[in-house]
C-alpha cells in the first residue's frame, strides 16, 4: 500500500476517534488515541493497512480504555465494551482481539507512561520504583 493511501486510512481512523472521544470521553483521551494510531502508522507494516477502519478505531479506543482502567465503574469516564462496539458498529470479540494485537505489538500495559492519562500517571504506584541488581527499591529512599 502506498504511503498516501495509508495516511488517508490513518486520518479516517483519527476522525472516528475524534467523534467518539468528543461524545463519550474528552480531549485528553482523544490525544492519547491519536498518538497510539500514529505510532502504529510508523510500523513497517501498520496493522490497519488492511481491515475495516471502524474496527481499528474501536480497537484503539479499547486499548486506551484498558490501559487507563476505563472499564472500572469507579472511574470518572467509565466505558463498557458494549459502548465502544455499539458506537462503531462492531463485534465485541473482534474489537477485543484487535485491541490485544495492538497492545502486544506496541508492548503496552496498564500504567504505561506514554499512553496513560495525566491523572493516572500522577498516581502511578510504580513510578518511583527502581531495580538495583534485581532488588526493587523505592526511589524515594535515595532522596
Enumerate domains of the chain plus CATH numbers. Answer: 3-116 (1.10.472.10)
Distance CA 105, CA 68 (A): 18
35: closest CA among 113, 134, 93, 95?
Answer: 113
Q: C-alpha grid cell for residue 58? A: 474501536
Task: Tell me what the pLDDT averaged over the chain comes to.
Answer: 90
User: What pLDDT is recorded for position 118?
Assistant: 84
Phi, psi dihedrals of residue 62, rounded to the nearest 5° = -60, -40
User: How sure is the predictor about 142, in pLDDT bands with cuts at 50, 70 and 90?
Assistant: low
| Radius of gyration for the alpha carbons in the chain, expressed in angstroms and rounded | 17
For residues 74 and 14, the model is more confident at: 14
Residues of the chain with pLDDT > 70, as a percent, come to: 91
Phi-psi region of 138 (alpha: psi -120 to 50; beta: other; left: phi over 0): beta
Can you tell me the mean pLDDT for 16-29? Answer: 96
- Residues 33-84 have pLDDT tens digits of 999 999 999 999 999 999 999 999 999 999 999 999 999 888 778 899 999 9
Q: What pLDDT does residue 140 have?
A: 57
pTM for this prediction: 0.86
- What whole-number distance in Å separates Cα of residue 66 and Cα of residue 50? 23
Amino acid at each position: 500500500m502506498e504511503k498516501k493511501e495509508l495516511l488517508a486510512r490513518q486520518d479516517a481512523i483519527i476522525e472516528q476517534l475524534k467523534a467518539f472521544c468528543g461524545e463519550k470521553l474528552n480531549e485528553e483521551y482523544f490525544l492519547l488515541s491519536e498518538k497510539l494510531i500514529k505510532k502504529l502508522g510508523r510500523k513497517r507494516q501498520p496493522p490497519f493497512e488492511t481491515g475495516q477502519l471502524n474496527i481499528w478505531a474501536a480497537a484503539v479506543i479499547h486499548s486506551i480504555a484498558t490501559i487507563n482502567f476505563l472499564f472500572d465503574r469507579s472511574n470518572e469516564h467509565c466505558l463498557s465494551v458494549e459502548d465502544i462496539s455499539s458506537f462503531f458498529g462492531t463485534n465485541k470479540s473482534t474489537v477485543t482481539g484487535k485491541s490485544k494485537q495492538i497492545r502486544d505489538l506496541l508492548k503496552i500495559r496498564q500504567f504505561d507512561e506514554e499512553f496513560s492519562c495525566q491523572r493516572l500517571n500522577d498516581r502511578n504506584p510504580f513510578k518511583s520504583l527502581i531495580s538495583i541488581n534485581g532488588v526493587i527499591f523505592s526511589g524515594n529512599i535515595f532522596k
